[in-house]
Amino acid sequence: MTVDRVEHRDRSPVARVSVAISPESGVDVATLTSFARAWEQELGVAIEVGDELLDLGAGNALVVDAGLASSVRPSTSGRTMIVDFDGSKALLDPGSNGPGRIAGRGLDGYRWAIRHLVAQGTWPFETYRYGTEPDHRADLRLPATGGPHPLVVLIHGGGWKHRWTRDLMAPIAVDLAKHGYATWNLEFRRVGGGGGWPATFDDLRMAINALTHIDEADLLDLDRVCFLGHSSGGQLALWAATDLETVVRPSYVVAIAAITDLVEASRRQLIGGENIAAGLLGGTHEAVPERYAAVSPRANLPLGAELLLVQGLNDYIPDLVDLNRSYAIAARAAGDEVEHAELPGVDHLSPIEPASAAWRLIRDKLTTVLRGQLASSSSDGHG
């Protein structure tokens, strides 16, 4: 396997974000500005909104929508993101120092772009290429202290769809680095961008196995590894933990609002009748049962690692509450050690937002388990 470092990004804090809107975006400046005031409180940066904010100064970052992309060049600091609302325009391709892109997320796309730019500047990271496809990328963040460090592999959600990318997990990657964890934030091909069956699963396996080939491998404690996935990424984390060709093995798995049963997800046509499971696997369970048997977490128990299931009870996908309860019962019956946390008042995304109580609970559980594993290893004479 060839794994190449393609980018190094130093810590470069963002003090102010400019958001440039083109008329064709269809977003009202006053509406976005009102949301930006709340986002300033959430993210701790000043946000200005307008249609001619194309100059970057020191401590600035720029969010620009697709209509203005042709007039924007990558910033020298690399802190530019393009929001593309329909996902169809030909934009500048993200390069090692070029603009990033968030596609098809509507008004909230601006918020996620700002969040990602803030996270990029908060902590240094290395980006590696683990394969030949554009989405074969992973970001490594290391704590400030010497290693070896416990490792958290982060697998983002978004219904396995191309419009959702690893920017979702960048804020918690930074938070984990601040608290002593190395993080490996994965990108991979998704549905609509060359992914689906079997490419998405092939990519995940390659990305995780690449950890043994990176320059900093000796700084990672591969005896204390957590696979942490959110939503559809939770399904991928659970699958990867049972995949016999994945050579880096987790001692702990955290699945947040995870799709734990692809057969049932397809039968119920999650989400909202769309049937994203069929989109991932190229057909319903009746059409391609062998694919569901290969990658559905429920069909591949026992997991073989200690497991934390986290599910908000205010999730906009209420079926996940039911599926996680059933999975927890089945996993325990198969012999797995499972903690199942149901969180009142918690929605789908807040558990991956660093300021939330839900995320702090997850991080505290992670610390307790991995520290306990280190103590156990040391008492056995392996530490």
Separation of alpha carbons 72 and 65, rounded Å: 10
Instruction: Indicate whether 258 pLDDT > 60.
Output: yes
CATH number of 14-117: 3.40.50
Name the more confident of 323 and 19.
Answer: 323
The per-residue pLDDT for range 126-142, each reduced to its tens digit, is 999 999 999 999 999 99
Q: What is the pLDDT of residue 295?
A: 98
The C-alpha atoms of residue 45 and residue 39 are separated, in whole angstroms, by 8
Q: Quick one: pLDDT band at residue 50, thresholds 50, 70, 90?
A: confident
- % residues pLDDT > 90 (the chain): 72
Residue bearing tokens 């390659």: 206
Name the percent of the chain lying above pLDDT 70: 89
- Give residue 97's pLDDT: 45
Q: Using 50, 70 and 90 to split pLDDT, how confident is the model at 99?
A: low
Q: What is the predicted pLDDT for the residue at 54?
A: 60
Comparing 3-17, 74-88, 314-328, which segment has the lowest mean pLDDT?
74-88
Domains 14-117 and 124-379 in one fold: yes
Q: Determine the pLDDT at residue 88.
A: 54
Name residues whose C-beta falls within 8 Å of residue 336's C-beta, 6 or more positions apart in sequence.
Answer: 301, 302, 303, 304, 305, 306, 307
Domain boundaries, the chain: 14-117, 124-379
Q: How confident is the model at residue 379 (pLDDT cuts 50, 70, 90)?
A: low
pLDDT of residue 344: 98
Residues in the chain: 383
pLDDT on residue 374? 73
Q: For the beta carbon of residue 148, count every other beta carbon within 10 angstroms.
A: 15
- How many beta carbons lie within 10 A of that of residue 307, not counting itself? 26
Angle at Cα 57 formed by Cα 54 and Cα 60, nearest 5°?
85
**Per-residue pLDDT reduced to its tens digit, 195-251:** 999 999 999 999 999 999 999 999 999 999 999 999 999 999 999 999 999 999 999
Mean pLDDT for 304-321 is 98
Is pLDDT at 95 greater than 50 in this prediction?
A: no
First-residue to last-residue Cα distance in the chain:
29
Residue 331 has pLDDT above 60, yes or no: yes
DSSP state of 94: P
CATH class (in words) of the domain with range 124-379: alpha beta
d(CA 159, CA 163): 9
Which among 17-21, 116-120, 274-278 has the top mean pLDDT? Answer: 274-278
Contacting residues for 128 by C-beta, under 8 A, at least 6 apart = 3, 4, 5, 6, 137, 138, 139, 140, 210, 214
Q: Is the pLDDT of residue 56 over 70?
A: no
Q: What is the DSSP letter of 37?
A: H
Which tokens sit at 69? 């992309």
pLDDT of 242 reads: 98
**Within 13 Å and on the Cβ side, how many CA atoms surround 296?**
22
pTM: 0.93
| DSSP at 20 | E
Burial class (CB in 10 A: 0-12, 13-18, 19+), 273: exposed
Statement: residue 78 has pLDDT above 80: no
Q: Is the backbone peptide bond immediately before 318 cis, with ω within 30 degrees of 0?
A: no
Place of tokens 């049962």: 289
- Asked if pLDDT for residue 184 goes beyond 70, the answer is yes
State the chain's mean pLDDT as an integer: 90
Count CB atoms within 10 A of the CB of residue 379: 9
pLDDT tens readout for residues 21-42: 887 788 888 999 999 999 999 8
Alpha carbon 132 to its chain's center: 21
